[in-house]
Structure 1
């Protein structure tokens, strides 16, 4: 079997890898302002200030991810999904540039070559499902808020951040014994994507995270000397 005939998978981070915005925060701002106007803007700034303080205090990204979703406690899943569809339609049609074109082209080429595309993100389904349909992704590995009686509880399962991405991708690879991880690609932009990128033979860094590039270069040198 030639390289071109092998089945392979492509795992792509989303925020600042496939799209130019941080979807969770862009949507939070969108829906708060859409529903509450100036009061929504003020609430958004309050939430972001807390998140920035926690990040500065080195609070783990997974814990910040959990904190984000507490703000959806009691919200109707149907209403949030409707707002997310409007958000996506508006952003995707914007002339400002919603997609990172190089990644979108690469995913399109992989899709044309027969690869299975998987989006991997700490974001949640209402924001990722329209994007997955647009790029032709076969699966979404993401943080999933818990739902009771059609409303978010404010809690989540396992945040798909850092090691959470690694675990989710490992499970996906285990479900495809016909696929060799060495043939697979993964795209990421931040050092927190390293646990995912290390699982495949063809990691791709999007953007200019020097720490991520150096870690992958060191890994490549180590593999060559074995």
Structure 2
């Protein structure tokens, strides 16, 4: 196995400590802030050493490369972007705190996603549809490394899918902006220029996210181990379980437990380093 270590700053002494602990045969620099420890063996102290140094780490089979994969599927809110769109929409209704509490409970897996979606969207009833543009243009930002990640995936010929329990207003714009091949999300119902407090069409919940991954995988004739999925909350668990390589980005503990790789300090482009 190889051990990939990365973070904002990687101290050479920490690398040497990890190499000693794992019996690595060599240390290879991937980028200025990412390194591969070749032929490393699992050791119980690795997680603690990396945590103290604010580093992410991931174990990877020797010889595995990005080109071995054919599909990437990612969540949007708090994964691809740095906000929960529904919380920011609710803020324009003066209800951010109330909606954010429901969002957090759903992400921790404490309440059913469909129930949380219905409750939160109902609180948006009456809001002008122009509020969506205000959130997109003034409050939404990509998480670090998102653009480099998508460029790298495209260069490797990997099919990309954005699937979200959020809303089509945002996924469609991000699809065009970043070049995703597909985008799926919930559609807010609008009447007379205002949100009705309901969604229309199929609900994109945890099961639907996983189903879109499986559909895209089977359509392209790929095996499970040729797929990558990224997310941050309980709603992403089934999707990550269907993927060959699951990435938890700044994630809740419930998702970290099922992920192959947790990125807490690196940007999304850290995925490229792990699979380089």
**Shared fold, TM over 0.5:** yes
Aligned CA distance change for structure 1 residues 147 and 52 (closer, same or farther; 3 Å): closer
Q: Distance in 1 between matches of 2:142 and 2:88?
A: 14
Q: Quick check: which one's helix share is greater?
A: 1
Aligned CA distance change for structure 1 residues 204 and 59 (closer, same or farther; 3 Å): closer
Shift of 1:140: 1.1
Q: Is the partner of 1:141 in helix, strand or coil?
A: strand
Q: Distance in 2 between matches of 1:197 and 1:57?
A: 15
Match status 1:22 vs 2:66: no
Shift of 1:7: 7.1
Larger radius of gyration: 2
Residues 227 and 244 in structure 2, CA contact (< 8 A), matched pair in contact too: yes
Shift of 1:109: 1.0
Shift of 1:206: 0.9
Give the corresponding residue for 2:254.
Answer: 211
Q: Give 1:172's match in structure 2, choosing from 208, 212, 216.
A: 216
Q: Distance in 2 between matches of 1:137 and 1:53?
A: 27
Shift of 1:216: 3.5
What is the aligned residue count? 195
Q: Give per-residue Cα distances to partners, 1:48-82, cap 9 Å, x unaligned.
A: 3883798699431221112222245566xxx62x4
Q: Give 1:161's match in structure 2, choosing from 183, 198, 205.
A: 205
Give the corresponding residue for 1:69.
Answer: 121
Q: Distance in 1 between matches of 2:174 and 2:104?
A: 30
Q: Which runs of 5+ in 2 are unaligned?
A: 1-64, 261-276
Shift of 1:13: 0.6
Give the corresponding residue for 2:177.
Answer: 134
Match status 1:198 vs 2:241: yes
Match status 1:84 vs 2:135: no
Aligned CA distance change for structure 1 residues 105 and 5 (closer, same or farther; 3 Å): closer
Q: Distance in 1 between matches of 2:232 and 2:124?
A: 27
Residues 160 and 168 in structure 1, CA contact (< 8 A), matched pair in contact too: no
Shift of 1:177: 3.5
Q: Distance in 1 between matches of 2:66 and 2:258?
A: 28
Shift of 1:12: 0.7
Shift of 1:155: 3.9
Shift of 1:4: 6.9
Q: Which runs of 5+ in 1 are unaligned?
A: 33-39, 93-97, 218-226
Give the corresponding residue for 2:154.
Answer: 111
Shift of 1:168: 2.9
